[in-house]
Amino acid sequence: MESHRLCLRVEKLEAFLRFLSAAKTEIRYSSLPVESVLRKHGGEFSFFPLSAEDGPDGWGKAWSEAVKAGAGNEGFSRKDIELLEGFGAGFGASDTQGQIAHFSLYENLVSAALEEAKKERDGKSKLYRMLGVCGGAAAAILLC
């Protein structure tokens, strides 16, 4: 299970990086509002809120609650959840150029988190699988 969790984290960070790239391009060329960008490009994440409530303050609160409620179930670590919350706090809070800069910043931050996740997966995934195999073999020996 732990090995799967590590692999899932890498997959979700890659998906979030794809979202950032697609959404940045969408904002650059069409200046869509937050809700439209999320509906169009956020399909891989169940925790993305699909509507903002009462302007920027409502949007930030809705995003933060959605991330806290759902991101942990999708394989993100605590550091990743903090990163997602930080992203949501600035998403939709400035003009087009500010949004492009915001997306570029988070592309860099998520890329760094993705590299860390890949190193962790590569280093620990085999260990967790072998512990499972050895534990199963030990249980089989004890039962016989």
Torsion, Cα 114 6 91 31, to 10 degrees, reads: 70
10 is in which domain, residue-wise?
2-143
Q: What is the pTM (predicted TM-score) of this model? A: 0.75
Number of domains in the chain: 1
What does the pLDDT average to over 66-72? 72
Q: How confident is the model at residue 69, as a pLDDT?
A: 75
Query: In the predicted model, what is the mean pLDDT of residues 36-56?
Result: 65
What are the tens digits of pLDDT across the range 78-118?
Answer: 888 888 888 888 887 878 888 889 889 999 999 999 999 88
Band of pLDDT at residue 125, cut at 50, 70 and 90? low
Structure confidence at residue 52 (pLDDT): 47
* pLDDT at site 51: 45
- DSSP class of residue 72 equals G
pLDDT band (50, 70, 90) for residue 130: low
